[in-house]
């Protein structure tokens, strides 16, 4: 009876909700048609100002104008969004008669559009919606206005996810807002838009793709979670499941096969296109299954210190790019989780390395990931990002605040284990 009761208390349902996807070279040329199909005539365009230098925003403006669409452009985007930068975007929508949003840029831009849409539709303070225990965790009461995401980098997968991430420097941590209503209505993914992305940005965002996908693939299975009291309480991050596994697996394979090529040659459209598609596929995978230890550790790694200057991001704004903040602790994290899903760890290592793994063990996946990190010029560990062993207690404290992520780890994680992971991550080579 006890076993039957425990089974009844466990989740037995998972949900896959994915943004519609349009992919291919030249896809952005159909943006006007896509907006008309959604019934959008007056839109708020959230865009990375740097894209104006390359003529991309002027091109978008011409496409919209030709379709008879009235657009208001907002370009004051934070490289790593903060409460203040999200607030500026939300404020800019006040009083505007708009029926939808378009985001053109990387994950920071798409996340900014998600939050601007949320506040425009439902009001309130941004912190009202931020995940607890940092924010109040308020749920939007009804769907938002349509959002079309046009990514120009290949990493965050934000064009397919329910999450918007923000930096809270005063608290020394990054966190986010997560709800299914934040997911874009359509992702228009055009590999041609990544030609101008610097190699360092491609490296960081591409490593984020790989980590997203691996974390999703090895996450605690959906049926190991408690059953929610009602369907509305089922979290967006539900745990690994057979459908999310398909998306995550292909994204891991693409990362191993194409990331090095994409970093080395911006004109290798096959490689850059594969990484863009991989980012969206990983977004669909982790948008359903979730991420865990490396991403939980990444938030304090990116939030506590702002000293690191990453190649390709401009030297005037020291910060830790998200992909680098994630990947530096991933080898130690995956070494720890190995015995909870041995076959999956070995399979992920095979996809990344592109070759069979002889005598798989706890170091197989970390070795494959470290080799990829070295080939694309990633930092060797948190020491290279400016951290010392004396900083580990604060990093542990920040990671412990990300319980919605840590809950998806295939093995239990406490402060002692996090301390060990950070210690092992000072230098990966």
pLDDT at 315: 59
Average pLDDT of 65-74? 96
Torsion of CA 191, 196, 198, 202, to 10 degrees: -10
The whole-number average pLDDT for the span 198-206 is 93
Share of residues in the chain with pLDDT > 90 (%): 74
Residues 153/200, Cβ–Cβ less than 8 Å: no
For position 5, what pLDDT does the model report? 62
Identify the structural domains of the chain with CATH numbers, from first to last. 27-189 (3.40.50.1970), 199-424 (1.20.1090.10)
Residue 132: which pLDDT band, with cuts at 50, 70 and 90?
Answer: confident
What pLDDT shows up at residue 378?
97
Q: What pLDDT, in 10s, does the model give residues 271-303?
A: 999 999 999 899 889 888 999 999 999 989 998
Of 122, 104, 1, 84, which Cα lies nearest the Cα of 43? 104
Token pair in block for residue 176: 């986010």
pLDDT average, residue stretch 192-202: 90
CA 34 to chain centre: 24
Q: Encode pLDDT of 1-48 as tens digits.
A: 466 666 668 999 999 888 899 999 999 999 999 999 999 999 999 999
CA 415 to chain centre: 24
Residue 180 is given by DSSP the state: G
Q: What are phi and psi of 167, to 5 degrees?
A: -95, 135
Does the pLDDT of residue 314 top 70, yes or no? Answer: no
Backbone angles phi, psi at 391, to 5 degrees: -85, -10
Q: What is the pLDDT of residue 3?
A: 60
Q: What is the pLDDT of residues 383-400, one digit of tens each?
A: 999 999 999 999 999 999
Q: What is the pTM of this model?
A: 0.90
d(CA 312, CA 117): 29
Cα dihedral 182, 401, 255, 198 sign: positive
| CA gap 185, 207 in Å, rounded | 26
Minimal CA–CA distance to 131: which of 184, 174, 85, 185? 174
Cα separation, 31 vs 33, in Å, equals 5
The answer on pLDDT for 361 being more than 60 is yes
**Burial class of 148 by CB neighbour count within 10 A (0 to 12, 13 to 18, 19+):** buried
Give helix 364-376 / helix 342-353 axis angle, nearest 10°.
30
Q: How far is CA 352 from CA 105, 175, 240, 336, 360, in A?
A: 27, 28, 19, 19, 14
């Amino acid at each position: 009876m006890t076993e039957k009761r425990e089974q009844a208390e466990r989740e037995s349902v998972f949900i896959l909700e994915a943004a519609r996807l349009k992919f291919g070279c030249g896809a952005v040329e159909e943006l006007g048609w896509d907006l008309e199909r959604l019934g959008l005539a007056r839109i708020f365009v959230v865009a990375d100002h740097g894209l104006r230098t390359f003529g991309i925003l002027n091109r978008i403006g011409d496409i919209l104008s030709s379709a008879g669409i009235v657009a208001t452009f907002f370009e004051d985007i934070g490289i790593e969004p903060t409460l203040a930068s999200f607030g500026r975007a939300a404020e800019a929508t006040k009083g505007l008669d708009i029926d939808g949003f378009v985001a053109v840029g990387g994950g920071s831009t798409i996340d900014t559009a998600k939050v601007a849409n949320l506040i425009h539709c439902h009001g309130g303070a941004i912190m009202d919606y931020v995940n607890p225990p940092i924010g109040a965790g308020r749920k939007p009461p009804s769907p938002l206005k349509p959002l079309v995401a046009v990514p120009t980098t290949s990493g965050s997968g934000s064009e397919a996810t329910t999450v918007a991430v923000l930096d809270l420097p005063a608290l020394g941590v990054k966190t986010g807002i997560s709800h299914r209503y934040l997911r874009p209505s359509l992702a228009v993914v055009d590999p041609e838009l990544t030609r101008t992305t610097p190699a360092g940005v491609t490296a960081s965002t591409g490593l984020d793709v790989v980590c997203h996908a691996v974390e999703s693939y090895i996450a605690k299975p959906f049926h190991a979670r408690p059953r929610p009291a009602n369907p509305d309480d089922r979290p967006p991050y539900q745990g690994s499941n057979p459908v999310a596994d398909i998306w995550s697996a292909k994204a891991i394979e693409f990362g191993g096969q194409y990331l090095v090529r994409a970093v080395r040659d911006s004109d290798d459209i096959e490689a850059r296109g594969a990484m863009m598609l991989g980012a969206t596929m990983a977004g669909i995978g982790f948008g359903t299954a979730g991420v865990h230890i490396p991403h939980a550790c990444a938030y304090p790694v990116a939030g506590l210190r702002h000293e690191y200057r990453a190649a390709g991001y401009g030297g005037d704004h020291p910060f830790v790019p998200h992909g680098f903040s994630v990947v530096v602790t991933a080898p130690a994290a995956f070494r720890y989780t190995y015995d909870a899903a041995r076959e999956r760890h070995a399979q992920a290592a095979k996809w990344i390395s592109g070759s069979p793994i002889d005598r798989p063990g706890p170091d197989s996946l970390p070795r494959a990931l470290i080799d990829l990190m070295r080939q694309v010029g990633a930092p060797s560990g948190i020491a290279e990002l400016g951290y010392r062993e004396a900083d580990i207690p604060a990093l542990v404290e920040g990671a412990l605040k990300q319980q919605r992520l840590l809950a998806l780890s295939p093995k239990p994680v406490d402060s002692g284990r996090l301390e060990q992971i950070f210690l092992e991550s000072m230098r990966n080579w």
